[in-house]
Each structure stands twice: as structure tokens, then as C-alpha cells.
């Protein structure tokens, strides 16, 4: 019988108090400020700024803004691509193979998520900056500059979103086990065929989930990129850096317009993620 047990159905004054407390808390902390952003995007409070959807679009078409979003998308694309390939490989190795240091590696791959973005940026600078980095001079001598250029920003982005794909795939790989793969190889499939026809189909939703999460995280990365990027207009200014610069330079309306686009991207990612979760839950 699918009924909810009575012990959990009972509603007292406390139930209603908690409900209204939670609704109120989330409203004040998240919902109301968020609605205010929408408000300011289409009806800026600045004296000389125009309102409405047209003005919003116009702000986004400013060359410095399109440059910033273009750069953000470029960095995110490469970071996600690298993380997906690396994440798939490392997950398979961690779950399916035995090698010395496996346990340590499995803990270490989780580390980038907990490291402060500023520390990530600093770490990359200390390793690869041509002035003072460990490998800066040798890289400079072969003509490679990482810090202050796009490769450094891609690395910073890849660093912070590195574990997202791995975290999603590993539990699924552990759960499906090796039986089907063993069966496939006993039927004559070699490693690649067994991966493509057995393993990949069963992890595809987890993989998609991880990719969406990485993408969302990459599009929004700020701290690490701020430190490795020159951060000037048309020179390494990504969308998030643009928001900071414009807000500080009293061009709030452009900052809000760019922020609104990123809010939309985040909400879209949330929606996609919910839809990806569904088919997985069903199985």
C-alpha cells in the first residue's frame, strides 16, 4: 500500500512555523536579490542609462562585451574538452585497474574542487609565469607563454572544474561492475569495442551530467582566471572579469546585463541537469 505513514503525516504548529521560516529565509537570501538583478538589468537605476529589452541587447552587442563572452566560451570549451577526456580515462583507470598509488590518486583528483580559486591562480603563476615561475624561463626560451595568455586561462578553468566529470562517472562505473565487460571480452570484443558498446552506453548519462556541470562551472570561473589573465579590455577580459571591471567603473548597467546572461546560463544548466537526472533515475 503506497500511503504515507501516519507518523509522518501529522502536521502541528511547528510544521507550519518551519515551513514559513524556510520559505522566508530562501526568499530573503536568494529569490528577492535575484529578482532585483532582473529588475536592474531591464530598468537600470543609473541616471543616464536606458531601460528595456532593446537597451539590454545593445549593451551585449558592445564589441568589448562580445569579446569577453567569446573568450569565456573559448576557455570553457577547451577546459571541458580536456576534462572530459582526462576524466573518462582517469575514472576508468581508478575503478577498473589496480596500480600502486591508486587510493592516493583517487583522493587527489578531488582536491582541485576544494582549493580556493585564488590559490589555483597563484599556483599556476608560481609554476609557469615567465618572470618568476619554476618553469617560466624554460618555457619562455621555447617561445611558450602561459601566464597572461589564453593557455593559462584554459588551464585555470580546467583546474577548478577538473573533478566534476570524474565524480559523476566513478559511482556509476563502480555500480555497473565488470560482468558485462567480461562477457563482451569473452565473446571476442577487444578493449575499444567493449568500451564503446558496453561501458559508454551505461555511463552516458553520468558523463553528460558531468559535462554540463563542468561547462557551467567553466563559464562562471572568476578567481583563478583573474590572477592568470591580464584582465584588460580586449586583452584577456572574460565575461566574469568584465562584470567586476564594469561594476567598479560605474558602468553598472553593462555589469548587470552580462550578469543576467550568466544567470540565464546557470539556470539553463540547472534545468538541463534536472532533465538528465530523470532518465538515469528511472533505470
Partner 1 sequence: MSIEVKGINKQYGDFVALENINVSLPTGQLTALLGPSGGGKSTLLRIIAGLDTADSGTVSIEGVDATRLPAQKRNVGFVFQHYAVFKHMTVAKNVAFGLEIRKRPKAEVAERVDELLKLVHLSQFAHRLPSQLSGGQRQRLALARALAVEPSVLLLDEPFGALDAKVRKELRDWLRRLHDEVHVTTVFVTHDQEEALEVADEIVVINEGRVEQIGTPDQLYDEPANDFVMSFLGEVTTLEGQLIRPHDIEITVMPQHDDAVQAVVSRSLRIGFEARVQVLTDNGEEVTVVLTRSHARHLGLQAGQTVWVRAAQGALTVPSLRAVPAI
Partner 2 sequence: MTNVIAPPAGPARTRRPSGGLFRLSTASGIGLGIGLVWFSVLVLLPLSAVVGAAAAGGWSAFAGTLTDPQTFAALRLTVVEAVLVTVVNAVIGTIVAWVLVRDDFVGKRLLDVVIDIPFALPTIVAGLVLLSLYGPDSPVGFNIVNTRTGIFLALLFVTLPFVVRTVQPVLLEIEVEAEEAAASLGASRFTTFRRVILPSLVPAITAGSSLGFARAISEFGSLVLISGNTPYQTEVASLKILKFLEGDNQAGAAAVAVLLLLVAVVVIVALDILSRRVARRA
| Touching partner 1, residues 4-23 (CB under 8 A) | 5-7
3 or 98: CB nearest partner 1: 3
Angle (nearest 5°) at CA 15 between 14 and 20: 95
10 or 190: CB nearest partner 1: 10
Q: Which of 153, 216, 257, 276 is the binder for partner 2 (CB under 8 A)?
A: 216
Q: Determine how many CB atoms are found less than 10 A away from the CB of residue 219.
A: 25
Q: How many residues bind partner 2 (CB under 8 A)?
A: 97
Query: From CA 121, how far away is CA 230, in angstroms rounded?
Result: 12
Q: Determine how many CB atoms are found less than 10 A away from the CB of residue 196.
A: 11
CB 61 to partner 2: min, Å: 20
10 or 282: CB nearest partner 1: 10
3 binds partner 1 (CB under 8 A): yes
Residue with the three cell numbers 551585449? 60
Residue with the three cell numbers 558592445? 62
148 binds partner 2 (CB under 8 A): no
Query: From CA 235, how far away is CA 118, in angstroms rounded?
Result: 20
The residues, ordered by sequence, that sit 6+ positions from 123 with a Cβ below 8 Å of its Cβ are 115
Binding site partner of 175, from partner 2, partner 1, none, Cβ cut-off 5-8 A by kind: partner 2
Query: From CA 132, how far away is CA 128, in angstroms rounded?
Result: 8
Binding site partner of 269, from partner 1, partner 2, none, Cβ cut-off 5-8 A by kind: partner 2
Residue with the three cell numbers 575503478? 95
Query: Among the candidate windows 49-57, 61-69, 129-137, 202-210, which touches partner 2 by CB under 8 A?
Result: 129-137
The closest of 259, 249, 220 to 40, measured between CA atoms, is 259
| Residue numbers 6-65 binding partner 2 by CB under 8 A | 7-8, 10, 12, 15, 18-19, 21-23, 25-26, 29-34, 36-37, 39-40, 45
183 binds partner 2 (CB under 8 A): no
Residues found near partner 1 in the complex (CB under 8 A):
1, 3, 5-7
Amino acid at each position: 500500500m503506497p500511503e504515507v505513514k501516519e507518523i509522518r503525516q501529522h502536521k502541528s504548529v511547528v510544521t507550519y512555523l518551519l515551513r514559513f521560516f524556510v520559505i522566508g529565509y530562501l526568499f530573503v537570501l536568494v529569490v528577492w536579490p535575484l529578482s532585483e538583478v532582473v529588475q536592474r538589468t531591464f530598468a537600470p537605476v543609473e541616471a543616464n542609462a536606458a531601460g528595456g529589452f532593446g537597451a539590454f541587447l545593445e549593451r551585449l552587442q558592445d564589441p568589448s562585451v562580445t569579446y569577453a563572452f567569446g573568450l569565456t566560451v573559448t576557455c570553457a570549451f577547451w577546459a571541458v574538452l580536456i576534462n572530459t577526456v582526462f576524466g573518462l580515462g582517469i575514472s576508468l583507470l581508478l575503478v577498473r585497474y589496480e596500480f600502486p598509488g591508486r587510493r592516493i590518486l583517487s583522493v587527489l583528483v578531488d582536491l582541485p574542487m576544494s582549493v580556493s580559486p585564488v590559490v589555483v591562480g597563484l599556483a599556476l603563476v608560481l609554476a609557469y609565469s615567465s618572470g618568476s615561475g619554476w618553469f617560466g624561463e624554460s618555457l619562455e626560451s621555447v617561445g611558450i607563454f602561459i601566464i597572461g595568455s589564453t593557455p593559462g586561462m584554459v588551464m585555470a578553468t580546467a583546474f577548478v572544474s577538473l573533478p566534476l566529470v570524474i565524480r559523476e562517472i566513478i559511482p556509476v562505473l563502480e555500480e555497473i561492475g565488470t560482468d558485462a565487460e567480461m562477457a563482451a571480452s569473452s565473446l571476442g570484443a577487444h578493449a575499444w569495442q567493449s568500451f564503446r558498446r558496453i561501458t559508454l552506453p551505461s555511463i552516458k548519462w553520468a558523463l553528460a551530467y558531468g559535462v554540463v556541470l563542468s561547462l557551467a562551472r567553466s563559464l562562471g570561473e572568476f578567481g583563478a582566471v583573474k590572477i592568470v589573465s591580464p584582465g584588460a579590455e580586449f586583452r584577456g577580459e572574460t565575461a566574469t572579469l568584465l562584470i567586476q571591471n564594469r561594476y567598479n567603473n560605474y558602468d553598472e548597467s553593462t555589469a548587470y546585463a552580462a550578469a543576467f546572461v550568466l544567470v540565464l546560463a546557470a539556470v539553463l544548466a540547472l534545468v538541463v541537469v534536472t532533465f538528465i537526472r530523470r532518465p538515469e533515475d528511472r533505470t
